[in-house]
Amino acid sequence: MITTLLLRSNRTRLLLYAALLCSGFTMRADAQANDSIFIRRLADEILLRSTAYENLRVLTKQIGPRLAGSAGMVKAEQWGVAAMQRAGADSTFKQQCMVPHWVRGGQDQARALVNGKSITLDVVALGNSIGTGPAELMAPVLEVRSFEELQQRQQEVKGKIVFYNYPFNATLVRTFQAYGDANKFRGQGPSQAARYGALGVVVRSMSHSTDNHPHTGSTRYDSLYTKIPAVAIGLQDADRLSGWIAQRSAPGSVQVGLRTLGHFLPDTIGHNVIGELKGTLYPNEIITVGGHLDSWDNCEGAHDDGAGCVQTIEILRAFTAMGYKPQRTIRFVLFANEENGLRGGTQYAEEAKRKGEKHVFALESDAGGFTPRALGFTVSDAQFQKLMQWQPLIAPYGCSEFSRGGGGADIGPLNRLFNTPVAGLQPDSQRYFDYHHARSDVFEAVNKRELELGAVNMAALLYLIDRYGL
Amino acid sequence: MITTLLLRSNRTRLLLYAALLCSGFTMRADAQANDSIFIRRLADEILLRSTAYENLRVLTKQIGPRLAGSAGMVKAEQWGVAAMQRAGADSTFKQQCMVPHWVRGGQDQARALVNGKSITLDVVALGNSIGTGPAELMAPVLEVRSFEELQQRQQEVKGKIVFYNYPFNATLVRTFQAYGDANKFRGQGPSQAARYGALGVVVRSMSHSTDNHPHTGSTRYDSLYTKIPAVAIGLQDADRLSGWIAQRSAPGSVQVGLRTLGHFLPDTIGHNVIGELKGTLYPNEIITVGGHLDSWDNCEGAHDDGAGCVQTIEILRAFTAMGYKPQRTIRFVLFANEENGLRGGTQYAEEAKRKGEKHVFALESDAGGFTPRALGFTVSDAQFQKLMQWQPLIAPYGCSEFSRGGGGADIGPLNRLFNTPVAGLQPDSQRYFDYHHARSDVFEAVNKRELELGAVNMAALLYLIDRYGL
């Protein structure tokens, strides 16, 4: 049925659209067929006239990095408001929240001392990490592959720089599983090493890219232990460093020097940027769709999460361009501070609670602007059954898989506070960690059509939920 | 079940492998479980130790373009034989065939004359096309969007250069449909225009890329009409040219100049490169897997079809490294001259017929080295039913969709001569036509992991067919 519609000539399609338009989107016996036609029209609008790619170009090339608290954040918020207005929001507003203000403080530097020879290493300080200060921190390096090994060798740790060299698991087909498996070393590694007296930490980047770009991301210090400096190292340099260590017989005979300047400034004011289409029938039932506007400071944040932002704005633009008036209120949200605090998502849910808002559904895109493959849902059994009936309507556009589990960091608080059903767009994940939090996450790494198809699948789901509830 | 296996620890997996190895791969009651374990092991072998990416680097960067008849073709054949031997083939041989020898003859040149101003256009002569010769062919340009329009305006065609400006249809989600829809203008466009007296043809490139690279590909002259020169033009230049034409009131007041030097040299000797693993139980039943070794002369042919070649060699390497002895004979084939003659695939099938060989299955990868999504089968209903039982074994590695229809140009003759069941790997198609036959089809456009996953899915299917027949 859907396939048949897909293969119809443009002319036939236009006639069907015209008929549909005349009917005023009223519910009819052939609702499923009408939905299929509306979604086809939505897809055509996006695939033929999307502004997502040009919006992404501006966000990445003209604004660039936009970590919470930075000047880039302020510029991005201004851009977001204007973009929402241009896309046709009924109203656009900024929702204030206090955000952390971590700064890198300068160029991260690292070198290895091998047989008295100094070799530069490509590193990036972990987000939220404390710097060494202007004086280099030089110490013998201890390489470990696990927290178990660290514990077994705890007597050797004192006065050293611990090098967590745990490889990203290439055998896990879905790369987010490999990330889930490896990122504990970035999150907990510094404090676990400090517990045994380490002076600093080097973490192998969470990636299986073929280049040497280091990948940053937040670390979390445990208040029980001293905060020590920590950097991520590129994969090629990680292998080189490991090789030098293997060649030296005496443990600790390879030294590493770090110089990082990261520190916190006082919390500052940031904003969620929100565009709204007011519901015609159920204005108090709120559907949220969004991505996060902040990015790490070492990249353009094109996939993470410029893609999610411009897809969100594109769905607003497409609905408006088609004259679609939602039954429920749809909020298009660019969340603040996902990367190193989640203050935007938290604020959004808390303000909703304070105001007694009714949040019926939320959808996030924060897994890159790649070809859409799946939608992941954190919903009840009954809701999932209902969603599965819509799968044939969305599958032709890429998301042929509907699965349990999924959502997004920024809409997690909504789910926790209200038990709001949430979903996450799950694009093809193979290239995501090539770019994630690395200097290579730039506009050029995003494919126009893959980005647009993500918006198509999200828009189709939002349309169905707006029309039928969940 | 498969999911469970995927989530088991490496240690458990190793024990299971060990048990399986001791059993000598004999058929057991828990065959499906064993198959799942073997395929997991095959995937690990490829994802952890693949040489596909490094082979592709050599093929694209050291050998480069390798159109039939060129010096690159000869170098590529030598490389292919050595690579098959290194990968562990029982025997390696070259199968001779005569191939066409079209040469570009020099740098293709084009310009528009607009208000007396000369503006350079980025074009590439179509493969197999006849050149203008050293003197520029300058003529007024006539833009059409369809063969119907050409026919309606046939009185205007004489003495003109016809510009087929038919856009690649962005609303077709599967890009090969858009290609199937548009490539008639490249194939038949020159002769259709010559029929009405055109002097040359400019075809809009079959792509929805965001750059301006022109995309070549074969044209086919109809012997009824004069052979006229023909080029493809980059998308940005196509839009610019169309804009100039729209601005001029008098038809034909924009002129285009072409200078191309394409011509045929006498047919020459090329080869299919074949590595073989001899079947232990049914040596006379032949399974073929392959890609094509030739590429267009204007690119490195990384996706088209270096990817298919190195995936083919990788499957051989993985089977050998695991000590897997196939029951049936598996032929790993790098076909000659797919792009502008199909002489390799034709020769392969005809020689098989002459020798009375029994070809039980053939698989081709010639749709790019992107994330695998589907396997397309040209098989009987009964065979498709059998294949569908294996889908759960392969789906976790990417090809979650098994569909009817599919194969590859090079294995098409096998299917036609023997009714051999054939299949084609269908990777994600969104980026394929960004690179297809354009100078941007280079090594850097291929992602290591996506390439390897393609080989994993192909290897899994070959294993199952080898083990159980079809």
Domain final position from B261, B283, B314: B261
Spatial distance between the Cα atoms of B230 and B203, rounded to a whole number of angstroms: 8
Same domain, B246 and B271: no
Dihedral sign, Cα of residue A97, residue A100, residue A101, residue A103: negative
Helix axes of A31-49 and A10-22: crossing angle, nearest 10 degrees: 120
Are A171 and B48 in contact (CB < 8 Å)?
yes
Q: What is the pLDDT of residue A252?
A: 64
**Closest Cα in chain A, distance from residue B38 (Å):** 14
Same domain, B302 and B359: yes
**Closest Cα in chain B, distance from residue A450 (Å):** 7
Spatial distance between the Cα atoms of A5 and A2, rounded to a whole number of angstroms: 5
Q: What is the pLDDT of residue B115?
A: 87
- Write out the two tokens for B225: 């009409």
Of B396, B434, B449, the CB nearest to A430: B449
The answer to whether the beta carbons of residues A303 and A434 sit under 8 Å apart is no
The answer, yes or no, to whether the previous bond of B434 is cis (omega within 30 of 0) is no
Using a CB-CB cut-off of 8 Å, the residues of chain A touching B6 are 172-173
Spatial distance between the Cα atoms of B411 and B409, rounded to a whole number of angstroms: 6
- Write out the two tokens for A454: 């993500």
Q: To probe the interface with A, which of B430, B456, B457 has the most A CB atoms within 10 Å?
A: B430
Using a CB-CB cut-off of 8 Å, the residues of chain B touching A371 are 371, 428, 430
H-run or E-run covering B157? helix B154-157
Region label for A116, one of left (φ > 0), alpha (ψ between -120 and 50) or beta (otherwise): left
Residue A250: Cβ within 10 Å count: 7
User: Of all residues in chain B, what percent carry a pLDDT higher than 70?
Assistant: 93
Interface of B with A (CB under 8 A): 6, 43-44, 47-48, 53, 170-171, 173, 208, 210, 371, 373, 396-398, 400-401, 428, 430-431, 434, 447-450, 453
Of A172, A373, A447, the CB nearest to B431: A447
Q: Nearest Cα to A465, choosing from A282, A276, A322?
A: A282
Q: Across residues B33-44, what is the average pLDDT?
A: 96
Pairs of residues, one from chain A and one from chain B, whose beta carbons lie less than 8 Å apart = 61
Measured at the CA of A200, the angle between CA A199 and CA A206, to 5 degrees, comes to: 155
Residue B43: Cβ within 10 Å count: 24
Residue B324: pLDDT over 50:
yes
Same domain, B145 and B175: yes
Q: Which of helix, strand or coil describes residue A127?
A: strand
- Write out the two tokens for A387: 């969603």
Of B396, B401, B447, the CB nearest to A173: B396
The answer to whether the beta carbons of residues B318 and B380 sit under 8 Å apart is no
Average pLDDT of chain B to the nearest whole number: 94
Using a CB-CB cut-off of 8 Å, the residues of chain A touching B396 are 173
Q: What is the pLDDT of residue A175?
A: 97
Determine phi and psi for B26, rounding to 5 degrees: -70, 155
Using a CB-CB cut-off of 8 Å, the residues of chain B touching A373 are 373
Same domain, A296 and A276: yes
Q: Nearest Cα to A421, choosing from A374, A386, A454, A383?
A: A383
In B, minimum Cα distance to A8 occurs at B172
Spatial distance between the Cα atoms of B425 and A268, rounded to a whole number of angstroms: 52
Residue B64: pLDDT over 50:
yes
Of B173, B400, B450, the CB nearest to A397: B173
Spatial distance between the Cα atoms of A460 and A398, rounded to a whole number of angstroms: 11
Q: What is the pLDDT of residue B26?
A: 46
Number of structural domains, chain A? 2
Are B43 and A453 in contact (CB < 8 Å)?
no
The answer to whether the beta carbons of residues A277 and A350 sit under 8 Å apart is no
**Closest Cα in chain A, distance from residue B413 (Å):** 28
The answer to whether the beta carbons of residues A36 and A393 sit under 8 Å apart is yes
Q: What is the pLDDT of residue A33?
A: 87
Are A170 and B449 in contact (CB < 8 Å)?
yes
Are A428 and B428 in contact (CB < 8 Å)?
yes
Dihedral sign, Cα of residue A419, residue A175, residue B61, residue B346: negative
The answer to whether the beta carbons of residues A93 and A184 sit under 8 Å apart is no
Using a CB-CB cut-off of 8 Å, the residues of chain A touching B48 are 170-171
In B, minimum Cα distance to A445 occurs at B445
Of B44, B371, B448, the CB nearest to A171: B44
In A, minimum Cα distance to B395 occurs at A173
> In sequence order, what DSSP letters do the residues of A350-393 get, joined into one string?
HHHHHTT-EEEEEEE--S-SSPEEEEEEE--HHHHHHHHHHHHH
The answer to whether the beta carbons of residues A215 and A182 sit under 8 Å apart is no
Q: What is the pLDDT of residue B252?
A: 63
Same domain, B430 and B462: yes
Sorted by sequence, the CB contacts under 8 Å of residue B312 that are 6+ apart come out as: B289, B290, B291, B332, B333, B334, B365, B458
In B, minimum Cα distance to A177 occurs at B7
Q: What is the pLDDT of residue A457?
A: 98
Of B396, B428, B448, the CB nearest to A371: B428
The answer to whether the beta carbons of residues A43 and A397 sit under 8 Å apart is yes
User: Of all residues in chain B, what percent carry a pLDDT higher than 90?
Assistant: 91
Same domain, A186 and A248: yes
CATH number, domain of A271, equals 3.40.630.10
Domain with A25 in it:
2-100+266-468
Interface of A with B (CB under 8 A): 6, 43-44, 47-48, 53, 170-173, 208, 210, 371, 373, 396-398, 400-401, 428, 430-431, 434, 447-450, 453
Q: To probe the interface with A, which of B3, B54, B171, B174 has the most A CB atoms within 10 Å?
A: B171
Q: Across residues B209-217, what is the average pLDDT?
A: 97
Report, in this order, helix, strand and coil percent for chain A, each rounded to 5.
40, 25, 35
pLDDT category at B30 given cuts 50, 70, 90 is confident
Domain final position from A219, A244, A261: A261
- Write out the two tokens for A464: 């169905």
Tens of pLDDT, residue by residue, chain A (470 residues): 333 333 334 444 444 444 444 444 444 447 888 999 999 999 999 999 999 999 999 999 999 999 999 999 999 999 999 999 999 999 999 999 999 999 999 999 999 999 889 999 999 999 999 999 999 999 999 999 999 999 999 999 999 999 999 999 999 999 999 999 999 999 999 999 999 999 999 999 999 999 999 999 999 999 999 999 999 999 999 999 999 999 976 666 899 999 999 999 999 999 999 999 999 999 999 999 999 999 999 999 999 999 999 999 999 999 999 999 999 999 999 999 999 999 999 999 999 999 999 999 999 999 999 999 999 999 999 999 999 999 999 999 999 999 999 999 999 999 999 999 999 999 999 999 999 999 999 999 999 999 999 999 999 999 999 999 99
Spatial distance between the Cα atoms of B368 and B347, rounded to a whole number of angstroms: 24
Spatial distance between the Cα atoms of A217 and A436, rounded to a whole number of angstroms: 9
Same domain, B146 and B283: no
Sorted by sequence, the CB contacts under 8 Å of residue A450 that are 6+ apart come out as: A369, A370, A371, A372, A427, A428, B430, B431
Dihedral sign, Cα of residue A363, residue A367, residue A370, residue A372: negative
Of A44, A172, A208, the CB nearest to B171: A44
Same domain, B116 and B92: no
Q: Where are the alpha helices (DSSP H) in A300-370?
A: 307-321, 343-354
Report CA-CA distances (Å) from A202 to A225, A244, A260, A436: 17, 15, 12, 18
Domain final position from A232, A261, A290: A261
The answer to whether the beta carbons of residues A40 and A5 sit under 8 Å apart is yes
- Write out the two tokens for A371: 């070809």
Pairwise pLDDT comparison (B33 vs B437), residue with the higher score: B437
Spatial distance between the Cα atoms of B447 and B370, rounded to a whole number of angstroms: 7
Are A210 and B448 in contact (CB < 8 Å)?
yes
Of B171, B371, B398, the CB nearest to A48: B171
The answer to whether the beta carbons of residues B308 and B427 sit under 8 Å apart is no
Pairwise pLDDT comparison (B328 vs B28), residue with the higher score: B328
Which residues make beta-bridge pairs with A403? Answer: A376
Same domain, B121 and B92: no
Residue B3: pLDDT over 70:
no
Residue corresponding to tokens 């828009």: A459
Of A6, A47, A170, the CB nearest to B47: A170
The answer, yes or no, to whether the previous bond of B294 is cis (omega within 30 of 0) is no
The answer to whether the beta carbons of residues A272 and A97 sit under 8 Å apart is yes
Spatial distance between the Cα atoms of B228 and B233, rounded to a whole number of angstroms: 16
Are B400 and A398 in contact (CB < 8 Å)?
no
- Write out the two tokens for A384: 């999932």
Q: Nearest Cα to B185, choosing from B210, B148, B225, B212?
A: B148
Which one-letter DSSP state was computed for residue B131? Answer: P
Same domain, B253 and B320: no
Q: What is the pLDDT of residue B31?
A: 80
Same domain, B256 and B276: no
Q: Interface pTM (ipTM) of the complex?
A: 0.92
Using a CB-CB cut-off of 8 Å, the residues of chain B touching A447 are 430-431, 434
Q: What is the pLDDT of residue A123?
A: 98
Same domain, A327 and A431: yes
Q: What is the pLDDT of residue A15?
A: 46
CATH number, domain of B120, equals 3.50.30.30
Using a CB-CB cut-off of 8 Å, the residues of chain B touching A173 are 6, 43, 396-398, 453
